[in-house]
Amino acid sequence: MRYSLLNVVVNGLTGNRFAKPAWRDPAPKPAYDVIIVGGGGHGLATAYYLAKVHGIRNVAVLEKGYIGSGNAGRNTTIIRSNYLLPGNEPFYEWSMKLWEGLEQDLNYNVMVSQRGIVNLYHSDAQRDAYARRGNAMRLAGVDAELLDRATLKAMIPFLDYDNARFPIHGGLMQRRAGTARHDAVVWGYARAADALGVDIIQNCEVTGFSRAADGRVTGVETTRGAIAGGKIGLAVAGSTSRLGKMLGLRLPIESVPLQAFVSEGLKPLIPGVITFGMGHFYISQSDKGGLVFGGDIDAYNSYAQRGNLPVVEDVCEGGMALMPMIGRLRMLRQWAGLCDMTMDGSPIIDTGPYPGLYLNTGWNYGGFKATPASGWCFAHTIATDAPHAFNAEMRLDRFRTGRLIDEKGAGATPVLH
């Protein structure tokens, strides 16, 4: 059923008595052309673009819990394409372009709001670094503006501009950046993929893989029985090493918790997304009014999906240094996602080291914005057995060959990214 204004009015007036579930709840078939493990945004987007762009509709998405229960439901909903390096920027800009047309494409309100992002700078060196980044973005055809202090002050008057240690001199702005509604992204992709024939199978945990004599991965064993697959793609973020272990793979990934926070609801206050350039702190305001913010990862391996108090303290200190007016605000909720940190801070979308296997992983703490392009590029990689130009450098073997995509220049230490 196509959603429309008429649809909303009719269902509203009839108390949703005639509304149908947005996607089916099928039992797994014995075999599929493609199996995607992981029913988050990336996995569902992959299935959608496989069906829509490549005509591969005999596809299953397997999810161990309910769809969107992992990082897709645990992020701070920021979308942006303000990257520096040629291996990253075209990919993230393609993601931004897909975001801009996503609601029409999916016929679903994913609440994309291009309210802009400002990365603040606090020193001459940081201004130069942001000028370089902005110029790199503009060379790649992306919008970027370097704002001076006066312009910024008119736009965001409430920051602590004259902080003794970290005075704010200006910021790098991308106006097309913004936020989207994380749950709606998952549900929109699920509904659109389901309509094209994709089976979304929830409460179905992968417990092993079946392999042919030549090493080809030929299927998965799950809590709902064995399922054969012509091609098998992993899009499980922080759990990639767990599945990799079942396949005898060691990966350049550590799983680390990232916490996020939301305050009590306020009237409209923060116009877009603001990031502190000295502490690690970023903040925006949700459409419900809560301030959504986050900071550093908890810097140790964990699969617990929760963090510890030192990072809570650190994030709140960053917030207070940037905008002291939030000091009396009460924090409503706090949660953590399970980040798949790679050794250079950039993702991996690649054909797997075994035939029949495909990898989508290494999103660090920035996977949400990448959701559309990640699905689009992973679908291309699975359908054609070769990466698209957008993910041509996001290879697994780059750590062996030395072709790292190191946005921060931080080296082989995942907690620094």
Partner 1 sequence: MLITCPYCGARDAHEFTYLGDAELIDRPDPAGPEAEAAFHAHVYLRDNPAGPHRELWYHGSGCRQWLTVTRDTRTHAIASVVAAARPEVAR
Q: Does position 208 bind partner 1 by CB under 8 A?
A: no
Question: Does 364 help bind partner 1 (rule: CB under 8 A)?
Answer: no
Exactly one of 35, 112, 343, 370 binds partner 1 (CB under 8 A); that residue is 343
Measured CA distances, 256 to 259, 320, 384 (Å): 10, 25, 32
Stretch of 30-38, 149-157, 246-254, 373-381 contacting partner 1, by CB under 8 A = 246-254
> How far, CA to CA in Å, does 109 sit from each of 73, 183, 237, 287, 343?
17, 11, 25, 14, 36
Report the residue from 28, 252, 277, 290 that binds partner 1 according to the rule CB under 8 A. Answer: 252
* Contact present, 391 and 349 (Cβ < 8 Å): yes
Binding segment for partner 1 (CB under 8 A), chosen from 159-167, 279-287, 296-304, 371-379, is 296-304
Q: Are strands 59-62 and 117-121 parallel, antiparallel or unpaired?
A: unpaired
Give the separation between CA 246 and CA 205, rounded to whole angstroms: 13
**Is 241 a binder of partner 1 (CB under 8 A)?**
yes
Dist CA 117 CA 172 (whole Å)? 8
How far, in Å, CA of 43 to CA of 50, rounded?
11
Least distance in angstroms from the C-beta of 337 to partner 1: 15
* Beta strands across the sheet bearing 253-265: 145-148, 170-174, 117-121, 273-276, 281-285, 290-297, 253-265, 331-342
- State which of residues 86, 197, 215, 310 lies at the interface with partner 1 (CB under 8 A): 310
Q: Cβ neighbours of residue 109 under 8 Å, at least 6 residues apart?
A: 3, 103, 181, 184, 188
415 near partner 1 (CB under 8 A): yes
From 38, 47, 140, 147, select the one nearest 92 (Cα to Cα): 140
Instruction: Please report whether residue 251 would count as binding partner 1 according to CB under 8 A.
Output: yes
CA distances from 310 to 38, 315, 415 (A): 31, 9, 15
Nearer to partner 1, 10 or 304 (CB): 304
Q: Single out the residue of 46, 114, 255, 263 in contact with partner 1 (rule: CB under 8 A).
A: 255
Least distance in angstroms from the C-beta of 246 to partner 1: 12
Q: Of the two residues 126 and 346, which places its CB atom closer to partner 1 in the complex? A: 346
Q: Tell whether residue 328 is a contact of partner 1 (CB under 8 A).
A: no
CB 82 within 8 A of CB 389: no
Closest CA to 227 of 210, 241, 247, 250: 210
Choice from 308, 329, 392, 406 touching partner 1 (CB under 8 A): 308
Please report whether residue 71 would count as binding partner 1 according to CB under 8 A: no
In the numeric block, which tokens belong to residue 81? 């394409």
Q: Is 381 in the site for partner 1 (CB under 8 A)?
A: no
Q: Does 69 bind partner 1 (CB under 8 A)?
A: no
**CB of residue 252 to partner 1, shortest distance in Å:** 4
Helix runs in 285-390, H state only: 309-322, 371-384
Q: Which of 86, 225, 271, 300 lies at the binding interface for partner 1 (CB under 8 A)?
A: 300
DSSP summary character for residue 113: B
312 counts as binding partner 1 under rule CB under 8 A:
no
Indicate which single residue of 245, 333, 403, 408 sits in contact with partner 1 (rule: CB under 8 A): 245
> CB-wise, 302 or 374, nearer to partner 1?
302
Contact stretch for partner 1 (CB under 8 A) within 68-76, 293-301, 364-372, 374-382:
293-301
**Interaction between residue 242 and partner 1 (CB under 8 A):** yes
Which of 226, 249 has the CB closer to partner 1? 249
Residue 116 Cβ vs partner 1, minimum distance, rounded to whole Å: 35
Chain residues that interact with partner 1, rule: CB under 8 A = 239, 241-242, 245, 250-255, 299-304, 308, 310, 343, 399-400, 412-413, 415
